[in-house]
């Protein structure tokens, strides 16, 4: 879980829910400041957007037009709580409107749909238009028999 490979551009992860947002903003700010053609992707689960650090990160990322893509891997639960119980909106990606960024929901079991949405978000970030919030729904999890 806590892996990193800076040479490959993977700044790592941590075990604190929603704490990836500030790290993502830092990586995006470095890329923008140095004029690099890199886009940083922040993956988090259903409980991540409930943390203040994620709200602050998404807001700041769009104010500074950082080259970021926020991806919520929605399996339907934040630990044991269904996301429909703790989200007031109909969809997690609806929160993007509060940060004036695109919010897209895509079926995580449809490879081509995920590829298209990710490509659009990355291209947008590279053009300097700021971050996107994508929700990947119905993540396929293969359980060992």
- Quote the pLDDT of residue 40: 92
pLDDT classification of 145: cutoffs 50, 70, 90: very low
- Quote the pLDDT of residue 68: 94
Q: What is the mean pLDDT of residues 13-26?
A: 86
pTM for the model stands at 0.87
Structure tokens at 34: 């140095």
Structure tokens at 100: 């004036």
- Quote the pLDDT of residue 76: 78
What gap in Å lies between CA 110 and CA 137, rounded to an integer?
Answer: 10
Query: Three-class SS of residue 98?
Result: helix
- Quote the pLDDT of residue 19: 85
The tens digit of pLDDT for each residue in 96-130 reads 888 999 999 898 888 899 999 999 999 999 999 99
Q: How far is CA 48 from CA 13, 54, 81, in A?
A: 13, 7, 13
Higher pLDDT, 35 or 76: 35
Q: Which class in CATH covers the domain with range 6-137?
A: alpha beta
- Quote the pLDDT of residue 80: 83
Query: Three-class SS of residue 141?
Result: coil
Alpha carbons within 13 A on the beta-carbon side of 79: 5
> Given a cut of 60, is residue 142 above it in pLDDT?
no
- Quote the pLDDT of residue 8: 79
């Amino acid at each position: 879980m806590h892996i990193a490979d800076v040479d490959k551009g993977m700044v790592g992860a941590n075990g604190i829910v929603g704490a990836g947002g500030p790290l993502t903003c830092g990586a995006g700010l470095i890329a923008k400041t140095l004029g690099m053609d890199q886009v940083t992707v922040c993956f988090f689960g259903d409980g991540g957007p409930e943390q203040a650090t994620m709200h602050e990160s998404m807001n700041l990322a769009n104010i500074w037009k950082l080259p970021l893509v926020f991806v919520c891997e929605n399996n339907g639960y934040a630990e044991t709580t269904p996301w429909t119980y703790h989200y007031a909106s109909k969809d997690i990606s609806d929160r993007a409107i509060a940060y004036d960024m695109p919010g897209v929901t895509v079926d995580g079991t449809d490879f081509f749909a995920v590829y298209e949405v990710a490509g659009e978000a990355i291209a947008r970030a590279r053009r300097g238009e700021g971050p996107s919030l994508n929700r990947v729904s119905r993540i396929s999890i293969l359980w060992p028999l």
